[in-house]
Chain A
Amino acid sequence: MKVAAILILRGMTSLAWAADAYVIRHARVVTVSGPVIEGGSVVIQDGRIAAVGKSVPAPRGARILDARGLSVYPGFLDADTRVGLTEIGSVSATNDTNELGDYNPHLLAYTAVHPASEHIPVARVNGITTVLARPLGGVMAGQATLINLDGWTVHEMAVRKTAGLVLNFPSILGGRQLDPATSTSRQIKYSEAKRNYEKGIRELRSLLEDGRRYLHAQQARAKDPGLPALEANEKLEALIPFLRGEEPVLVSVSRKVDIQNALEFAETEKLKIILLGAGEASKVADLLREKNVPVICGPVQSLPPQEDDPYDIAMATPALLAKAGVRFAISSNGAANVRNLPYEAGTAAAYGLPKEEALKAITLYPAQILGVADRLGSIEAGKIANLVVTDGDPLEIRTNVKHVFVAGKPVSLETKHTRLYQTYLNRP
């Protein structure tokens, strides 16, 4: 049965360009947004989910995938990664995550995504079909991009060319801190940290104020062309959608007091924010719910931020946020091992998050938080056909991914790793 299904799909892969319609039949369809459909079908046409249900008519000429005994899930979305922006951690030539300078709101991760990165197939063969790839450096690191994990060019991959401005929020805390430039840690006194924090906040506020003035000047000149021409400023131009609250600022922050400061800052500056990482989010859960600030938390498999924290605080954080009514998603925060995203969610489930919520935390929730739930995150007609076909619970490590569709096309399950495995398995 399984062999037959694979054969059909193999045939179909080679013909993928000829026929753009597929039907996955006899599957357990886990829609995420609605009830599970046992023995259901999913129809894929022109890159989109055309229909889903117990019995739906197949378009003429559609390729059939018999998925008896298998389950279909929406592709997983990792909302905080560096996929495509880095290849080999220690080789700076392969890293495009950290630009020089502190304030780079105009830089785009989209520009640096390497579609041929070996990390891309490695992630997608475990069901991760969409990632947010983001820069890291400085205070305003640049703008993230949301990409599907298949495509000849980044243009083909992009779901949203820009998907938020990354802000590394200044920390007011001292203590041992890692200097990313030299990879060494250094003791920072509270007085020094406070000075740095205040300077950082001053600079940020001043930059945002410049942006607002720039916007006002632009608006004024649009009304009155007689006003002097405005000198173009790429940095300030880039800030406009964030100053207007149209686009989210992705605030990377971890400690409790820093989260509190970030929320206050966002409120006074009228920014729409999403927290990234936020290791101590569970300690300010009520505040996060009250302010309706979502959190992309992870990795779940992390050590506690404080020595006297519960040993399992990171694993329990998604459950604590869910209980408090905070909007959240789970992320791997990785590059090479984004493939482990389902196990991050599984671990959160082991430590108290209901399994259905754990699945949503890597599908529908990140799509909602990133404002793309109209296109991603569940199996619903009209959404992008990012689908994963498995032989069991995808949050379980032993489960195998049998087929992956990205934007309506079946993708190869071959990776650098499977190639090396086959080669050396056959070494005499």
Chain B
Amino acid sequence: MLRKTWVLFSFAVATAFGAESVLIKNATLLTVSQGTIPDGSILIENGKIAAVGKDLAAPADARVIDATGQYVLPGIIDCHSHIAVEGGVNEGSLAVSAMVGIDDALNPTDINIYRELAGGVTTANILHGSSNPIGGRNAVIKLRWGKSAREMLFEGARPGIKFALGENPKRSNFTTPPGSQRRYPATRMGVEEVIRQALTEARQYLLDWEAYKAKQKTGKNPLIPPKKDLKLETLAEILKGERLVHSHGYRADEILMLLRVAKEFGFRIATFQHVLEGYKVAREIAEAGTGASTFSDWWAYKVEAYDATPYNAALMARKGVVVSINSDSAEEARHLNQEAAKTMKYGGLSETEALKLVTLNPAKQLQIDHRVGSIDVGKDADLVLYNAHPLSVYAVPQKVLIDGQVYFDREEDRQRQRALEAEKRKLMEAEKSRPTGLPSQERPTKP
């Protein structure tokens, strides 16, 4: 059944490939960067936005999408996701697992990719779990459903890594299996020490390599190079400013701790993730130039989330922090537009400020805002067409485009569902007339 679905879906994707030029017309354009354009058009050439405005002329062979009555939003960017990962997301056996990477475990057939696409998500930051003070490398992907894992990777996105603070890396809320020991660290003190120790080793690693290279340049006798270490290679990239740190954290104190450590080691934390007490130290986060990617309104599921408030995003934004709202959940991701709307109710953000939380701001945080996050000429044509304003609870995505190609179409989805239903009924009927005594086909089980 799964394989069948898959074939149908890939067929749908393939049909979209023909046209090089696409014109979306008669829509309300929520550009995010330059306000709202009523009765606007977007011309797409070779997957990029070629023109935005009113009364655009399209080449004769352009595919025209009449979006009368619809709203166009830049594709939603989820700055914290765990979809499309084969197996677990936590290499929790070690407190520092910088040697592992999500890009090695991407599963492009995870149905949640399609489900999120249908909710308007076009880009996601796929992160390692939060069991370790220093987790694994991330993978920024575009939800190009039907493509291979490699083809889903967001070309040129700056690489990142997951850090984690507080209850999860302390393993506060997890039972230790019988016969095994608790893993260090078990306190916030230990979490800092683990991070500091790892970065210290990485700094020495860099120095050793620099010294080796410097000596090599002098042309003197061949030296034995320092031992390659995949963990320290990754950590060294953080110190060189080449790898973005996305750190899970909740409490104000641990947020300040990591800002101090980063300052000491001479790099900037790209984002705090969840950062539910970020509103308490918004000034310090803003001063460090660090972004904050938070939940709209989740709270009270653990002690460090008990002071969470739905005003967090708005309050941090008011104090100058670049804020995004993320999902951390394959379900929540499907209505991030609604989650953004909550910041208007809780904290009074404007429409544009609210929309930025799930488009331009996460793009900035992932340093891909030159490519995605707003409807601007030259950016990738990653767009969502809604039947109502996306800040309304009644808005449903009708079409979702990535690189100018339609990857989700609600009407086509309905047709496929009907076909699937008919096929299921047929199979059920056939099952009834199967001669008795013959075994039914064994279902293949996933290894």
Contacts and interface: CB of A to CB of B under 8 A. Distances in A.
Given A88-B305, A349-B393, A421-B347, 17 more contacts: A89-B301, A90-B167, A90-B172, A90-B303, A303-B112, A303-B331, A311-B115, A350-B395, A397-B342, A397-B391, A397-B392, A418-B311, A420-B279, A424-B279, A424-B280, A425-B315, A427-B280
A308 B1 contact: yes
Nearest to A401: B345
A90 B311 CA distance: 23
A235 to B, nearest CB: 31
B406 to A, nearest CB: 16
B344 interface: yes
A336 interface: yes
Contact of A420 (B282, B307, B395, B396): B307
Interface of B: 1-2, 5, 111-112, 114-115, 118, 167, 172-175, 279-280, 282-283, 297-303, 305-307, 309-311, 315, 318, 330-332, 334-335, 338, 341-342, 344-347, 388, 391-396, 413, 417, 420
Q: Describe A's contact surface by its main secondary structure.
A: loop
Given A350-B394, A397-B342, A398-B341, A304 B302 contact: no
Interface stretch (A19-27, A73-81, A340-348): A340-348
A118 B111 CA distance: 37
B118 A311 contact: yes
Nearest to A335: B300
Contacts of A89: 300-302
A417 B311 contact: yes
A308 B335 contact: no
Contact of A421 (B315, B341, B394): B315
B301 A90 contact: yes
A336 B335 contact: no
A343 B338 contact: yes
Contact of A88 (B301, B330, B388): B301
Contacts of B118: 311-312
Contacts of B315: 421, 424-425
Interface residues of A, number: 43
A240 B300 CA distance: 37
A91 interface: yes
Interface in A174-189: 182-183
A339 B354 CA distance: 20
Contacts of A87: 300
Nearest to B331: A303
Contacts of B302: 88-91
A119 interface: yes
A310 interface: yes
A97 B344 CA distance: 34
Given A346-B393, A398-B391, A88 B306 contact: yes
Interface in A343-400: 343, 346-347, 349-351, 395-400
A104 to B, nearest CB: 24
26 contacts: A88-B303, A89-B301, A90-B303, A91-B303, A119-B300, A301-B331, A307-B1, A307-B5, A308-B2, A311-B413, A312-B118, A336-B298, A336-B301, A339-B297, A350-B394, A350-B395, A351-B396, A396-B393, A396-B394, A397-B391, A397-B392, A398-B341, A417-B310, A420-B309, A424-B282, A424-B315
